[in-house]
Structure 1
Amino acid sequence: MKKIMVLLASALMIMAVTGCSKKVEKGEFTIEKGVFKIGMEIGYPPMEYYADDGKTPVGFDIEMSKLLAAKLGLKVEFVDTAWDGIFAGLETDKYDAVISSATITPERLESMDFSEPYIGNGQAIILQKDSTANITKPEDLAGFTVAYQAETTSDYFMTKLADKGLKFEPAEFDKVINAYDELGLGRCDAVVSDALVSAAYLGPDSKYKSVWVGDPDEYFGIAIKKGNKALLDKVNEALAEIKADGSLKAVSESIFGADLTSN
């Protein structure tokens, strides 16, 4: 009897292991079968934001996500999430991935996995177009009120400057759009934001001007829950395909006027 029980237990263990691996082989690597749920803070133009109707998501990350989902054979679903809780939502399975201008950092890699980079980015300093402030580099921000989005690489950039002794008045916001609104209303002297994002606020008819752009020193990637290698591999494969076939380049050129995905 004991021998029979041991054999039965062994058989059940084999069935369990086989069942798990079979599930991955079938491609069931997302929270909901057939759906690619993406966590995104939809308020970060031109990367991800709502169109004029206030309900249609548009932007670079939106279009890239659609391309990826098509390659994966999945329906895409966007989950609009506040930035300060976006990675927690990934950990608690609210969505399969975060595609929201998320910079790949050593700290983040400790708690989540990232795809290969899909675009490079640096920081930029933006002023009102008619500003007479003598600001041409980060060190010139001393004594000024500087707006930026909290808990982002712009925040980290300014924190590093402060640690080096730069004295300025910080104005932190939960959305980058609010930082630019503050600048437009004259309630701050400058905005520090991702150079990619600043492109949405500049142009011939803009009320802003760019006075400094740093070299790309950070790269955006797709964040995936730690250990979900099946999805990570699929996403990297799909990302490589949309780079190779030129579809990601076309999206970049339509939004930024140049291909920024190969830097």
Structure 2
Amino acid sequence: MKRRVLSLFLIAVLVLSVVGCGSPTTKKETLKVGMEIGYPPFEYYDADGTTVIGVDVELAKALGEKMGMEIEFVDTAWEGIFSGLDKGDYDCITSAVTITPDRLLDYDFSDSYIKNYQCIVTLKTATVKPTKPEELAGLKVGYQEETTSDIFLTDMIDNNKVKCETSEYPKVLDVFNDLQIGRLDAVLCDSTVASSYLGDGSLFKQTWIQDSAPEEFGVCIKKGNSALTTKINSALAELKKDGTLDKILAKYF
């Protein structure tokens, strides 16, 4: 009798435990996103020095929500960011990547999410404030290596449109630091990046900006990964439609 009661009790406990657990939670797929943390306002550390914030950070998280995926950020130096994608260190790059004809030969891109222009920045107190790239002649000009700013200025120099002393840096933060302390006369950079260094109380002044042929940024994806490209484009379209993308951009620009 006691054995039967005990058996029934154990069965009841087992049934209740199964009911209590419910259906097992489905684990979300993780999307690894490569970015160069240190490129404000797109990706940089907050005042606490550990929290990553910025346009691309919020965009990636919003895309992840739409796609039902967890986002894992992989901090990567810009000069190796594309090779990291080639090796499979991450699934895509969301790091203010300009969509260019050359890059389209090797990679797939999402639809664009922002327009950008090249610009020149100097100190407000600078004696010479170039109002066009040709006026960089004879000046010390800094830019981040392997960016479209690098391509833009190198092309001008190679085509004898300007002669200037150039300095390239691994991070744009270093470029502006050297401009501030007087090691550079001017900086060539993305207008979207310059915006975070300008404004009331700033030491810097934007003296020129492109007036046509804007660059466009997109999520960079390994060539041939059409499934991921389609998913990202679908999610991006939703973010544009429901106003989420506009809210993210308005927060930083």
TM range (shorter): 0.7 to 0.9
Match of 1:45 in 2: 40
User: What SS class does the counterpart of residue 85 from structure 1 fall into?
Assistant: helix
- How many angstroms apart in 1 are the aligned matches of 2:146 and 2:50? 25
Q: Does 1:130 align with 2:125?
A: yes
Match of 1:180 in 2: 176
Q: Does 1:80 align with 2:78?
A: no
Q: Give the share of equivalent positions with the same residue, in percent.
A: 50
> Displacement, 1:33?
6.3
User: What SS class does the counterpart of residue 33 from structure 2 fall into?
Assistant: strand
Q: After alignment, is 102-111 or 177-186 more displaced?
A: 102-111
> Displacement, 1:119?
0.7
Deviations 1:41-80 (A, max 9, x none): 0111011111111111111111111100000101111000
Alignment of 1:1-40 (within 5 A): 34-40=29-35
Deviations 1:148-198 (A, max 9, x none): 000000000101110221110001000011000000010010001000000
- How many angstroms apart in 1 are the aligned matches of 2:247 and 2:201? 25
> Displacement, 1:134?
4.2
Aligned residues: 225
Q: Does 1:212 align with 2:208?
A: yes
Match of 2:218 among 217, 221, 237: 221
Q: TM-score, normalised by structure 2?
A: 0.87
> Highest CA radius of gyration, 1 or 2?
2
Match of 1:201 in 2: 197
Alignment of 1:156-175 (within 5 A): 156-165=151-160, 166-175=162-171
- How many angstroms apart in 2 are the aligned matches of 1:115 and 1:67? 15
Alignment of 1:66-105 (within 5 A): 66-105=61-100
Over the aligned positions, Cα root-mean-square deviation in angstroms equals 1.2
- How many angstroms apart in 1 are the aligned matches of 2:43 and 2:237? 21
The one-letter amino acid paired with 2:124 is: K
- How many angstroms apart in 2 are the aligned matches of 1:56 and 1:95? 20
The one-letter amino acid paired with 1:187 is: R
Alignment of 1:228-247 (within 5 A): 228-247=225-244
- How many angstroms apart in 2 are the aligned matches of 1:210 and 1:227? 40
User: What SS class does the counterpart of residue 72 from structure 2 fall into?
Assistant: strand
Structure 2 alignment gaps of length 5 or more: 1-26
Query: Are the equivalent residues in 1 in contact too, given 2:60–2:71 (CA < 8 A)?
Result: yes
Alignment of 1:240-259 (within 5 A): 240-256=237-253
Query: Are the equivalent residues in 1 in contact too, given 2:130–2:207 (CA < 8 A)?
Result: yes
Query: Are the equivalent residues in 1 in contact too, given 2:28–2:68 (CA < 8 A)?
Result: no
Q: Does 1:140 align with 2:135?
A: yes
User: What SS class does the counterpart of residue 110 from structure 1 fall into?
Assistant: helix
Match of 2:57 among 62, 72, 78: 62
Deviations 1:19-40 (A, max 9, x none): xxxxxxxxxxxxx961111000
- How many angstroms apart in 2 are the aligned matches of 1:238 and 1:114? 14
Which stretches of structure 1, 4 residues or more, deviate above 2 A after TM superposition?
none
